[in-house]
Amino acid sequence: DVEDDVRQWIYENNPVLPRLYTSWESLAYFCLPIAEMDYYDLSPTPPVFKHFDLMTGEVSNGFVGERFKNK
């Protein structure tokens, strides 16, 4: 259940979608409620890890890999 204005915003603000689809109405949209989310940025060394708790608003930072640990 995604509102039309949100569907249109997603389409217009994503540079890839207009190249693949002729209009925002031709796409299928869905909403997925989440409480926690993990983000990995593998480009730097050490890779960065962030954990977001969307219920409390807390963000914890860390690193990926056994060679790099939070101290």
User: What is the Cα gyration radius of the chain?
Assistant: 17
Tokens representing residue 19 in the block: 């190249």
- 47 and 13 in a common domain: no
Each residue's pLDDT tens digit, 4-27: 999 999 999 999 999 999 999 999
The residue segments making up the domain with residue 19 are 1-31
How many distinct structural domains can be found in the chain? 2
CB 11 within 8 A of CB 21: yes
- 43 and 25 in a common domain: no
Query: Per the omega criterion (within 30 degrees of 0), is the bond before 18 cis?
Result: no
State the pTM of this model: 0.54
- 41 and 70 in a common domain: yes
- 49 and 37 in a common domain: yes
- 37 and 64 in a common domain: yes
Q: Is 23 exposed, middle or buried (0-12, 13-18, 19+ CB in 10 A)?
A: exposed
Each residue's pLDDT tens digit, 27-53: 999 999 999 999 999 898 888 899 999
- 50 and 40 in a common domain: yes
- 42 and 16 in a common domain: no
